[in-house]
Amino acid sequence: MSTPSDREPSLLSAAAFAVTDVGFFQWDANHNADILTVSSSGLGLAWGPRKPRNKDAYYPPSWVTAATLAYMHSGQFQWDFVVEELAGGPIGVGFLLLWNTGPDWGFSGCFGESSTAWSFNPVTGDIVRGAQSIQGGLPTFPAGKGGTVTVRLDLPRDTEGAAWFAVNGTASEPIYLPHGAVIMPAACLMKEGQKITLADLWEEPSQGTG
């Protein structure tokens, strides 16, 4: 009898879910819980305050990833990442394709390192995939200031999809996504003290309930 760990990795398909089964639009409080703090609403996220376990000689780490409980598919979605505090460092916000074995954060675990993850850094104005900038020149946040990054997804149930990042009214070129993609919003915090809030989710499910 096979177990999930025995399965060949494959991307999740929208066909495996009911149209309205898209999870919860909030941060996963159990993901890197020894470092990150999620607000009672589930929408706010912070690196800190330090927990009793944060006494390791290598603390703080160079980065920490933040997952959500959403798995978006079969419709159109838009939401904001509101960066409340940069703490003097870069940050990554975006999304990953979901696999049957879980999200692929990349070899070293840094969001945007995998070929199935797209991360926007509002400090440099770059979209990163596979540890490489695939688009640059988007608006950046003023030095030391936060701001808002909007993500828009068009995820048809039966055909290829697309995604866009937007800052200050300027949208990226489309990012094309595979047939029936299932998407998880996520982030990568790169400085202790950084804070992000999820906001203004809009969604329009595909017609039908299959």
Q: How far apart are CA 205 and CA 82, in angstroms?
A: 24
AA identity, residue 133 = S
Under DSSP, is residue 4 helix (H, G, I), strand (E, B) or coil? helix
Q: Per-residue pLDDT tens for 32-61?
A: 999 999 999 999 999 998 887 766 667 788
Tally the residues of the chain: 210
User: Over the range 102-116, which residues count as b (16 or more CB within 10 Å of their CB) and which as e?
Assistant: ebbbbeeebbbbbeb
In terms of Cα–Cα distance, which of 86, 200, 207, 104 is closest to 151? 200
Q: Per-residue pLDDT tens for 100-127?
A: 998 888 877 788 889 999 999 999 999 9
Residue 173: half-sphere exposure toward Cβ, Cα within 13 Å: 7
Q: What is the pTM of this model?
A: 0.91
Confidence label for 21 from pLDDT (cuts 50, 70 and 90): very high
- Give the CATH fold of the 19-50+59-205 domain: Jelly Rolls (2.60.120)
Residue 89: half-sphere exposure toward Cβ, Cα within 13 Å: 15
pLDDT at 140: 94
Q: Which long-range contacts (CB under 8 A, 24 or more apart) does 35-41 make?
A: 35/60, 35/61, 35/64, 36/64, 36/66, 36/189
Per domain, the residue ranges of the chain are 19-50+59-205
Q: Per-residue pLDDT tens for 157-204?
A: 999 999 999 998 899 999 999 999 999 999 999 999 999 999 999 999
